[in-house]
Amino acid sequence: MELPFNFVALFLFVAFILALFKEWKSSKQVKQPPSPWKLPLIGHMHHLIGSPPHHALRKLSQKYGDLMHLQLGETSSIVISSPRLAKEIMKTHDLAFANRAEFLSSKIICYNSSDIAVSQYGAYWRQMRKICTLELLSAKNVRSFGSIRQDEALNLITSIQALAHAGEPINLTEKMSSYTSCMVCRAAFGKVSKDDHRKFLQLIKESLRFASAFEVSDQFPSFKILHPLLSVKAQVVKLHHKIDRVLDKIIDQHIDNLATTKMATGESGQEDLIDVLLRVKDSGDLQLPITNNNIKAVMIDVFTGGTETSSTTVEWAMSELIRNPDVMAKAQSEIRTALRGKKTIEETDIQELKYL
């Protein structure tokens, strides 16, 4: 037992010395924004332990400023904590920050980062963004999904009314998640089985869990000896295969349905988002040809951005209204005044609600 112990001790000692040398060398080369005190190897990671990361970052920013440097393992990060600086990065100098950091989970799940959200800035990203703007999210397409949004909004209202009449509590998180996922699923996939819908959403939630979890290869890329022992790569690959099987099945169904519809009517019929991407793929007009894997990667973007983000935004907005009853009362008064006499609210009515 003595040899293995000595080997481990030697390895840790050498790693410690190398980390100190690397830190000393980097500190001589680059002047960084203010930062809290740090430890060898792990850097500033210990400052994020014990409370939610956004709480810890806010507390640190109050002491070290709106522009702060954090060393998370071997990864150097800049934390922005003000709207003014965020605008400088996201709008004024957006091209300088256009590339995305590459993380293990997103690279595997999104087909080697061939989606839009995490792909590197370049010709492929510009082409996919153009497809998204001109095809997927065109004004015509957005209008064509209006009936879907209306149906799902009515389903949401009906379910809330039923719980209210029964005197039961309403789980807003659950309701908003169901509402956004059903709406996005119908717009993206058209008609799919409830089992495929449920299965895919569960897999997307699991992928988000991995995306937000600690991954040793992301924070310590040079410590390759630790990757096989501590990495979640095998679990992420297994999850990716499950997602791939569901998406393959749905795409195959769309290809079959499209062929059947064309044979019967000579036209493609109403397009959902997968239909649009398949049409663009087969058009032959693209500078960089895309494959079914690219389509599947974009669909993952649509669901992660269109379900979790949207439902969380609404949930937090409602939380703020509940915390500020005067604001809530003013918003309710505006709705009752502007839409007096109407039994249902339609999308066009929203333009009348200036305060909301």
Does 1 have pLDDT greater than 50? no
Query: What is the C-alpha separation between 171 and 338, in angstroms, rounded?
Result: 28
CB-based contact 127:288 (threshold 8 Å): yes
List of residues 6+ apart from 303 with CB closer than 8 A = 181, 184, 185, 188, 200, 201, 204
- DSSP per-residue codes, 277-296: HHHHHHHS--SS---HHHHH
Residue 158's alpha-carbon distances to 151, 154, 155, 174, 287, in angstroms, are 11, 6, 5, 15, 47
The length of the chain, given as a count of residues: 356
Residue 61 confidence (pLDDT): 95
Beta bridge partners of 69: 78
Q: What is the mean pLDDT of residues 64-85?
A: 94
Helix then strand count (H, E) for the chain reads 16, 2
Q: What is the mean pLDDT of residues 82-100?
A: 91
pLDDT digits (tens, 9 = 90+) for 138-181: 888 888 898 899 999 999 999 999 999 999 999 989 999 889 99
Query: What is the C-alpha separation between 121 and 277, in angstroms, rounded?
Result: 21
pLDDT band at 26 (very low <50, low <70, confident <90, very high): low
Nearest CA to 250 out of 287, 302, 285 is that of 302
pLDDT band at 24 (very low <50, low <70, confident <90, very high): low
CB-based contact 186:155 (threshold 8 Å): no
Query: What is the C-alpha separation between 122 and 116, in angstroms, rounded?
Result: 11
Does 86 have pLDDT greater than 90? yes
CB-based contact 217:231 (threshold 8 Å): yes
Q: Is 133 left (phi over 0), alpha (psi -120 to 50) or beta?
A: alpha
Q: Which amino acid is residue 191, in one-letter code?
A: K
Q: Which amino acid is residue 258, in one-letter code?
A: L
Query: What is the C-alpha separation between 19 and 74, in angstroms, rounded?
Result: 9
Please, what is the average pLDDT of the chain?
87
Residue 299's alpha-carbon distances to 8, 185, 274, 295, in angstroms, are 45, 10, 8, 6
The residue with tokens 């800035």 is 121
Does 197 have pLDDT greater than 90? no
Lowest mean pLDDT among 79-83, 109-113, 123-127, 283-287: 283-287
Q: Which long-range contacts (CB under 8 A, 24 or more apart) does 79-85 make?
A: 81/57
Instruction: Considering only residues 200 and 18, tell me which one the structure prediction assigns the higher pLDDT.
Output: 200
